[in-house]
Amino acid sequence: MPPSADRRPTQLVLRALHLGDLLVAVPALRALRRARPDHRLVLAAPAALGPLAALTGAVDALLPTDTPDDLRWPGPAPEVAVNLHGAGPQSHAALDRTGPRVRIGFAAPGWDGPAWDDDDRVHERERWCAMVAAHGVPADPADLRIDPPDPGAGPGGVLVHPGARYGAKRWPPARFAEVAATLARAGRRVRVTGSAPERPLAADVARRAGLDDTAVLAGATSLPELCALVAAADLVVCGDTGIAHVASALGTPSVVLFGPVPPSRWGPPTAGPHRVLTAAGDRRGDPFADDPDPALLGVPVGEVLGAADALLHPPGGPAGSPGTLRTCGAGAP
């Protein structure tokens, strides 16, 4: 964060996490902005999230911070320090070192606030909104929508995103490929997205689906470009990973497959154009495992295609849209 001539008091907010983590914190960030409109809000988060932070309309500046221990506050002590990162103690201690006058976070030594509750039935948006509300900052968990960087940019079609940070959240590539192939046969333009390290996975899914190399966008889009693609898409099919939260924030229809982590905690809004699929009774629950969670493996291809079909052909939708989806093999796994 470059030196600023802005002399307003500062709210320093720590959320040194990932793409989806930032997006579920948007309602709390906006509440903090409304509560102190005369303050500058500085978000301590990874530098790569800067473009997305700007789209929230709540952040004045981003302080590049990959972990709480990396937090280096360059100016006078902030007026307010807000811990949207976790329950502490590491994140609390990092903010304490900046010398704030006011602390907003969960209860810990030196910090007033509500007790941390790790109940999986509570969505992350609700958890952080409830925390700031306990400090006198009313927040609406439904205030999650963002505007795309270039509204309407790029063609529509379907984005298939087979990757995820951990293997426990990755549905098998062969199943993603069958979904992609069926969508393409039905006349949909299908593209496969992902990060640069996920490009081999995306290329494998595209090859299995019979798509050409131009369909592989993994590693070829910036974060703003990815947001524009999601905003223009007819549908996103993915696991429980960052692009699912982008679709939720932009209101793009999505089919999201959940494994180790329940959708009650990280899923899309129930009122939105989204479908959540999981075999909850089989959940192992280890989000850091190398292999797919049984709750994820319990979701068959046919169920994903059925959910996609419902979103692509809503009742009362326009006539003449591409055809109904049919898997190439009955009883596909």
Tell me the pLDDT tens digit for each residue of 163-188: 999 999 999 999 999 999 999 999 99
pLDDT, position 6: 77
Cα gap 24→10, rounded to integer Å: 22
Query: Comparing 149-153, 259-263, 286-290, which segment has the lowest mean pLDDT?
Result: 149-153
Closest alpha carbon to 202 in 234, 150, 243: 243
Q: Locate tokens 């900046």: which residue?
A: 98
Spatial neighbors of 109 by CB under 8 A, at least 6 apart, are: 89
Cα gap 319→333, rounded to integer Å: 31
Closest alpha carbon to 17 in 99, 72, 83: 83
- Residue 320 pLDDT grade (very low, low, confident, very high; cuts 50, 70, 90): very low
Q: Do domains 10-134 and 158-312 have the same CATH topology?
A: yes
pLDDT, position 315: 78
Mean pLDDT across 34-50: 97
pLDDT, position 7: 83
Cα gap 263→67, rounded to integer Å: 26
The yes-or-no verdict on residue 1 having pLDDT over 70 is no
The yes-or-no verdict on residue 317 having pLDDT over 80 is no
The yes-or-no verdict on residue 11 having pLDDT over 80 is yes
What topology is assigned to 10-134 in CATH?
Answer: Rossmann fold (3.40.50)
Percent of the chain exceeding pLDDT 90 equals 83
- CB-side neighbour CA atoms (13 Å) of 305: 27
CB 286 within 8 A of CB 318: no
Q: What is the pTM of this model?
A: 0.92
Token pair belonging to 187: 């006349």
| 64-86 pLDDT, tens digit each | 999 999 999 998 999 999 999 99
Domain boundaries, the chain: 10-134, 158-312
Q: Which CATH superfamily is domain 158-312 in?
A: Glycogen Phosphorylase B; (3.40.50.2000)
pLDDT, position 274: 97
- Residue 324 pLDDT grade (very low, low, confident, very high; cuts 50, 70, 90): low
The pLDDT mean for the chain works out to 92
pLDDT, position 3: 42
- Please report which residue ranges of the chain form alpha helices under DSSP H: 19-24, 26-35, 50-55, 90-96, 124-134, 173-185, 199-209, 223-232, 242-250, 263-266, 294-297, 301-312
The yes-or-no verdict on residue 327 having pLDDT over 80 is no
